[in-house]
């Protein structure tokens, strides 16, 4: 009668054991914090984009709209992204029609942002950012800060560790001293 050796039995059980525990992150990578464990479609082509790709970065998350008095902030957001991206800042834009100021299709929004303001920072498809239908990512942001977006261009700042550090109302522009000071402090922290 065949008796499996201890090595054969261990090798046979290895795949099951590896399913039971998450694999450690490869050396040089950052584990994805719970807040970023969402996938959303990219604005330009609607291809799924995991937010985990931004783990270890400083994130400025903004709900945007094309027909708002704060729409010119796109220019400042792009300037901020360009200025600090090599140090680890990523601006993430989430167009939303929650305030009835983003009526276009995803393609129209992408074309408007690119042609009018030269937006290159990552943007996602039109997203509900408040209320019971809010995307789970935005629900989590509101829960962590106690502040759902009150209007377009509300900003959340997330540290490299995936924790929400601050929330800023729409009137706080991307070039404001308060916001830039916190961004610079977060970029220095490891």
User: What distances in angstroms separate CA 148 from CA 17, 35, 58, 144, 184, one per listed residue?
Assistant: 41, 15, 20, 10, 24
Alpha helices for the chain (secondary structure H): 6-20, 73-84, 106-117, 136-145, 177-188
Distance CA 182, CA 180 (A): 5
Q: So which residues are the catalytic ones?
A: 68
């Amino acid at each position: 009668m065949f008796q499996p050796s201890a090595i054969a039995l261990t090798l046979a059980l290895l795949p099951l054991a590896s399913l039971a525990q998450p694999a450690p992150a490869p050396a040089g990578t950052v584990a994805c914090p719970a807040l970023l464990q969402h996938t959303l479609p990219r604005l330009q082509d609607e291809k799924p984009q995991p937010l985990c790709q931004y783990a270890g970065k400083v994130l400025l998350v903004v709900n945007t709209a094309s027909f708002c008095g704060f729409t010119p902030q796109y220019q400042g957001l792009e300037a901020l992204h360009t200025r600090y991206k090599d140090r680890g800042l990523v601006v993430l834009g989430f167009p939303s029609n929650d305030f009835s100021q983003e009526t276009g299709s995803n393609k129209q929004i992408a074309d408007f942002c690119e042609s009018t303001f030269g937006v290159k920072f990552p943007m996602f498809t039109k997203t509900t950012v408040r209320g019971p239908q809010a995307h789970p990512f935005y629900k989590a942001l509101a829960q962590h800060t106690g502040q759902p977006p009150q209007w377009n261009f509300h900003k959340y700042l997330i540290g490299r560790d995936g924790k929400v550090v601050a929330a800023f109302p729409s009137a706080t522009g991307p070039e404001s001293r308060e916001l830039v000071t916190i961004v610079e402090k977060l970029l220095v922290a490891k």
